[in-house]
Amino acid sequence: MTDSDLSDFTDDDLFTTGSIFARRELLRVGHVPERDRIVGRDDEMQRVGKALGPATQGGPPRNLIIYGKTGTGKSLVSRHVSRRARGRAEENGVRFVNIYIDCSDADTETRVARRMALDVRDDVDPSVHIPTSGIGASEYYHYLWTLLEEVDVFVVILDEIDKLRDDDVLMQLSRAEESGKTDCYVGVISISNKIEYRERLNERINSSLQDSEFVFHPYDAEQLRDILENRRDAFQEGVLEDSVIPKTAALAAREHGDARKAIEIIYEAGSLAEGQGSSRVTESHLEDAQREAEVNRFQELVAGSTPHVKYLLRSLAKLTQNNPSKEMFSTHDIYERYQQQATAEGSEPITQDRVYRLLKEQTFLGVTESHHTGGGRGQGSYLEHRLMRDPEIVIDALDD
- How far apart CA 343 and CA 329 sit, in angstroms, is 21
Is pLDDT at 11 greater than 90 in this prediction? Answer: no
Q: What is the pTM of this model?
A: 0.81
Q: Tell me, what's the pLDDT at 7?
A: 59
Q: What is the pLDDT of residues 129-140, one digit of tens each?
A: 999 999 999 999
- Mean pLDDT of the 180-193 span: 96
- Give the tens place of pLDDT for each residue, 323-336: 999 989 999 999 99
Asked if pLDDT for residue 2 goes beyond 60, the answer is no
76 annotated as ligand-binding: yes
- Lowest average pLDDT, out of 138-147, 205-214, 225-234, 275-284, goes to 205-214
Which residues lie across from 383 on neighbouring strands?
A: 372
Q: For the residues 17-22, what does the mean pLDDT come to?
A: 85
SS3 386: strand
Q: Is 219 annotated as a binding residue?
A: yes
* pLDDT for 30: 83
Check the annotation: does 318 bind a ligand: no
What CA–CA distance (Å, rounded) separates 273 from 267? 10
Share of the chain above pLDDT 70, in %: 94
Q: How far apart are the first and last CA of the chain?
A: 27
Give the C-alpha separation, 31 to 27, whole Å: 7
Annotation-wise, does 73 bind a ligand? yes
Domains defined along the chain, listed by start: 41-216 (3.40.50.300), 220-302 (1.10.8.60), 307-399 (1.10.10.10)
* Strand, coil or helix: 126: coil
85 with 49: CB under 8 angstroms? yes
Residue 203: pLDDT band (50, 70, 90) is confident
Query: Does the annotation flag 74 for ligand binding?
Result: yes
Taking the C-alpha atoms of residue 162 and residue 192, their distance in angstroms, rounded to an integer, is: 6
Residue 72 labeled ligand binder: yes
pLDDT tops 60 at residue 378 = no
- The pLDDT confidence band at residue 379, using thresholds 50, 70 and 90, is low
- Is there a binding annotation on residue 382? no
65 DSSP β-pair partners: 190, 213
Q: Identify the DSSP state of 304.
A: T
